[in-house]
Amino acid sequence: MEVFEIIKNGPSENRIDVVFMGDGYTPSEKPKFLSDIRRLTSDMWGAQTFASVLPLFNIWAVFAPSNDSGIGVGGKPKDTPFGLYRDGTELRGIYCSKPNEARKACTLTGPAACDYPSLIANDDYYGGLGGEFVISTRSNISGTVVLRHEMGHNLVEVGEEYDGGQVYSGVNSEPADRPLSELKWAHWFTDPDNIAEQKSVVRVQDYAWYDLSHGAYTLNFSSDGTYARWGLKISASGVDVDDAMRVSVDGVGLEWRGVGHLDRSFFDVRADSGFEKGDHTLTFALGIPAPPGAPIRQLCSVQLIEYAAEPAFHMDNSYISAYPTISQSGTKTYRPTNEGCLMRNMGLPIFCSVCKEGLWTSLLSRLHLIDTITTTCPGPGAPLITVTPLPLAQFRPGGDRGRDVERFAVRWYTRPAPSRLARQAVGGAGQIGNGTTEAWRRVRELDDLFVGTVHPGMWRVEVEFRSVEVRSEGGVMEGRWEGRVEGC
């Protein structure tokens, strides 16, 4: 196996290390593997999703040569290092049959450099899994879609936001019996003076995983006729050409266009009028059959929601309020936005403001805001203290994002250092000989400086990171150093 540094931003002891390990890449496919990992890394950290927190990460790639190319299907792994496989042939979950081998491979990056292992399948179509190993594929269409959603669960304390799931917890979820003014994202409300549950109802929630060659697939539902509009969300695979799949509501066909590829894709259909009171039918049928040997034309999932008119339901995805989410068991919780977060809409490359704040606080809670402190004597006279924080704000390698977006605040404090004899008497360097502690004195002339000329004695440096993407800091946005500085 070979280890490659894709992005190196600092020591693993004070960075978040993500390790990508390929499965099903033969020795001759090593260039393909490295190209895939660089592309996925660029999609994740060079674009919108994790771009603002990139300096907190190191990204690694482990090439494990495989005897077979690709991954298994039908529950049978191929001869690959980590034994990835699909349960059937549907574009859904991908499982690891050799987790111990994956754990061993991840340790090749170093004893402190395997925070988040990820397995990338040499497969051109949608599939993956969350958990200890974030699993995705090399797919140009959906590889990043799966990766950023599942890795989002690991990097941030977030649950699902889509309807029909099971795990609703974390910074983006609240129980429906919680007073709206007390939701944990209340400090992000778009209109805090007019908070109300956004009125909508799920009429259809179905994970079909249905091969359309078996015949039409019909879903029946009822409406009470009180809603002003509706939205239909569909995911399907194998629908590359126009008329590959036919969709109708109450016998009226919806306009459908192929996506030009066979991978799983996500579709939205909106209507500006509601359903009449009574029973309705949603039908999916095969149009043009799939060519021999091609992936099946498969209906993966269907969701139909009715919405109230504005302002009872704000459709704007940037609006933050209390949007209802219905679990698989019918339990209602709240989420922050309509469709404004990749934790609900996997087609999006961005987190909502609430999840982005959770990302910052989660990552910084695991790191030290101050990377290093050095004390030097550049010449006769007073010593020099140099503070090196995490590479954020003006220390970003790619350039400062601007003080109105993020900045550091630095505060310096001092107090006399006890003599060696006094330290021996009380057993500590921070106490005066009589056992009392002298108060720290703020040195304001050093405010917001990262290099300070100081006198011998005890010194404390406090560094605070401020970002417009964080409104509720939770105590993880500060770092502190204390130490004794000797004279030159």
pLDDT digits (tens, 9 = 90+) for 366-378: 999 999 999 999 8
Question: Looking at the structure, do residues 142 and 178 belong to the same domain, yes or no?
Answer: no
Residue 297 sits in a domain whose CATH number is 2.60.120
Confidence of residue 425 (pLDDT cuts 50, 70, 90): very low
Q: Which of 36-45, 272-281, 419-428, 474-483 has the lowest mean pLDDT?
A: 419-428
Q: What is the mean pLDDT of the chain?
A: 92
Q: Check residue 402 and give its pLDDT.
A: 86
What average pLDDT does the segment 334-354 reach? Answer: 94
Q: Check residue 427 and give its pLDDT.
A: 38
Q: Check residue 88 and give its pLDDT.
A: 82
Look at residue 363 and tell me if it is in a domain: no
337-372 burial: b if 16+ Cβ within 10 Å, else e: bbbbbbbbbbebbbbbbbbbbbbbbbbbeebebbbe
What average pLDDT does the segment 5-31 reach? Answer: 97
Residue 48 sits in a domain whose CATH number is 3.40.390.10
Question: Looking at the structure, do residues 29 and 135 belong to the same domain, yes or no?
Answer: yes
Q: Is the pLDDT of residue 419 over 80?
A: no
Alpha-carbon span 371 to 300, nearest angstrom:
47
Look at residue 352 and tell me if it is in a domain: no
Alpha-carbon span 156 to 337, nearest angstrom:
17
Look at residue 463 and tell me if it is in a domain: yes
What percentage of the chain reaches a pLDDT higher than 90? Answer: 84
Q: Check residue 163 and give its pLDDT.
A: 93
Alpha-carbon span 243 to 379, nearest angstrom:
79
Confidence of residue 421 (pLDDT cuts 50, 70, 90): very low
Q: Is the pLDDT of residue 424 over 50?
A: no
Question: Looking at the structure, do residues 233 and 118 belong to the same domain, yes or no?
Answer: no
Find all residues with CB under 8 Å of 28, minimum gap 6, and list them.
none
Look at residue 18 and tell me if it is in a domain: yes
Confidence of residue 423 (pLDDT cuts 50, 70, 90): very low
Q: Check residue 379 and give its pLDDT.
A: 76
Q: Is the pLDDT of residue 107 over 70?
A: yes
Is residue 368 within 8 A of residue 391, CB to CB? The reply is: no
Alpha-carbon span 147 to 138, nearest angstrom:
10
Q: Which of 1-15, 64-78, 405-419 has the lowest mean pLDDT?
A: 405-419
Q: Check residue 426 and give its pLDDT.
A: 36
Q: Check residue 428 and give its pLDDT.
A: 36
Q: Which of 335-339, 414-418, 438-442 has the lowest mean pLDDT?
A: 414-418
**In the listed set 155, 187, 222, which residue is the last one of a domain according to the structure?**
155
What average pLDDT does the segment 200-228 reach? Answer: 96
Confidence of residue 437 (pLDDT cuts 50, 70, 90): low
Question: Looking at the structure, do residues 335 and 269 belong to the same domain, yes or no?
Answer: yes
Q: Is the pLDDT of residue 432 over 70?
A: no
User: Nearest Cα to 351, choosing from 16, 38, 47, 132?
Assistant: 47
User: pLDDT digits over 465-478, tens only?
Assistant: 999 999 987 667 89
Question: Looking at the structure, do residues 105 and 185 belong to the same domain, yes or no?
Answer: no
User: pLDDT digits over 86-105, tens only?
Assistant: 998 778 899 999 999 999 99
The single-letter DSSP state of residue 213 is: G
Comparing 474 with 78, which gets the higher pLDDT?
78
- pTM, two decimals, is 0.90
Range of the domain at 98: 2-155
Question: Looking at the structure, do residues 337 and 383 belong to the same domain, yes or no?
Answer: no
What average pLDDT does the segment 190-204 reach? Answer: 96
Helix axes 143-155, 30-41, angle to 10 degrees: 60
Confidence of residue 380 (pLDDT cuts 50, 70, 90): confident
Confidence of residue 161 (pLDDT cuts 50, 70, 90): very high
Residue 418 sits in a domain whose CATH number is 2.60.40
**In the listed set 102, 122, 155, which residue is the last one of a domain according to the structure?**
155
Q: Check residue 418 and give its pLDDT.
A: 66
Alpha-carbon span 322 to 344, nearest angstrom:
14
Characterize the bridge pairing of strands 57-63 and 16-23.
parallel
Q: Check residue 477 and give its pLDDT.
A: 86
Look at residue 164 and tell me if it is in a domain: no
Max Cα-Cα span within the chain: 93
Alpha-carbon span 81 to 122, nearest angstrom:
12
Is residue 59 within 8 A of residue 20, CB to CB? The reply is: yes
Question: Looking at the structure, do residues 25 and 135 belong to the same domain, yes or no?
Answer: yes
Look at residue 27 and tell me if it is in a domain: yes
Question: Looking at the structure, do residues 467 and 400 belong to the same domain, yes or no?
Answer: yes
Question: Looking at the structure, do residues 136 and 233 belong to the same domain, yes or no?
Answer: no
Question: Looking at the structure, do residues 199 and 338 belong to the same domain, yes or no?
Answer: yes
Alpha-carbon span 100 to 263, nearest angstrom:
30
Q: Domains in the chain: how many in total?
A: 3
Question: Looking at the structure, do residues 179 and 321 belong to the same domain, yes or no?
Answer: yes
Confidence of residue 400 (pLDDT cuts 50, 70, 90): confident
Question: Looking at the structure, do residues 319 and 286 belong to the same domain, yes or no?
Answer: yes
Q: Check residue 300 and give its pLDDT.
A: 94
